[in-house]
Structure 1
């Protein structure tokens, strides 16, 4: 990995899904699938742009069910290898895709690296996610570390939605 990533702390989640690896890859990289499960439980996602390839970008808007909270986000895809891996830098953004501070904290890292690997396990898929701040100040890294349990809980909720969505496809 590049030295400027200054990785000091990461979250890691491993989850087994009862679906083939090729399907998991599709639901991570195709907008019509991704919009149906990604994000916090009380939000919907509208995909504005999704070019899930190495060097491509994602831009989307999450809106709370009551319509009071709106968050734009983007991914800068670093490495996309079908059906094994999706690596991207995730950031909050404005409508044009410019990186902005998180709405909940002025000291949240601007960029979070996410590395997703998919491994076949007899018809099921083992998904491993690693996430860590990149190009972050010491204060931003500490804030990420402090909020890691909540972030991990939120991601587990997102993965619950993914599991339910996969069942709906059968």
Structure 2
């Protein structure tokens, strides 16, 4: 079994626009997260060492907080960050949906443009998981892939219908 999950998605848009949609909160708030969920940006500091802290909430459920810590951002090429569920203050907490979800995941996103289309490759891996966290994460691979694919579908629609 691989120790990472990889998702590849192609956008019918130039890399510069796709990257901008990932790194500017005024765009992110229009497409990030599960479809139909409320989304609120508490902090957006897109630079190495910066933080993206937000909440998301389904119509019929509890608010969840998530925090990204950026370690590397190479304009239009790459975004590397750690992500974890948090409380409203940004402190790391267990995932609200599964106590055995890894406390933190490492995420590496690369953007490659070819003939005006952009291919995003996202590689995710749990950071120092226990054996139980590792099993939980990889048994949820389909959920993770479907979740991100749905989110990226929303971005594709946003790029098509907006003038970034």
TM-score (norm 2): 0.95
Specify the alignment match of 1:49 in structure 2: 43
Match of 2:15 in 1: 21
Which residue matches 1:158? 151
Counterpart check, 1:108 vs 2:101: yes
Q: Secondary structure at the match of 1:9?
A: coil
Tell me the equivalent position of 2:5. 11
**Deviation, structure 1 residue 78:** 1.1
> In the TM superposition, what whole-angstrom CA distance separates every residue of 1:23-71 from its partner, at most 9, and x where no partner exists?
11111000000111111113121111011111100100102134x3210
Determine the structure 2 residue equivalent to 1:124. 117
Gaps (5+ residues) in structure 2? none
Q: Counterparts of 1:80-91 in structure 2 under 5 Å?
A: 80-91=73-84
Extract structure 1 runs of 4+ deviating beyond 6 A.
none
Structure 1: tracts of 5 or more residues without a match: 1-7
Corresponding position of 2:142: 149
Q: CA deviation at 1:88?
A: 0.7
2:95 aligned counterpart, secondary structure? coil
Distance 2:146 2:76 in 1: 26
User: Of residues 28, 32, 48 in structure 2, which corresponds to 1:34?
Assistant: 28
Residue 93, structure 1, aligned to residue 73, structure 2: no
1:22 partner SS = helix
RMSD: 1.3
Q: CA–CA distance in 1 between the matches of 2:159 and 2:36? A: 19
Q: Quick one: distance in 2 between partners of 1:139 and 1:16?
A: 33
Aligned positions, number: 163
Q: How far did 1:9 drift? A: 1.6
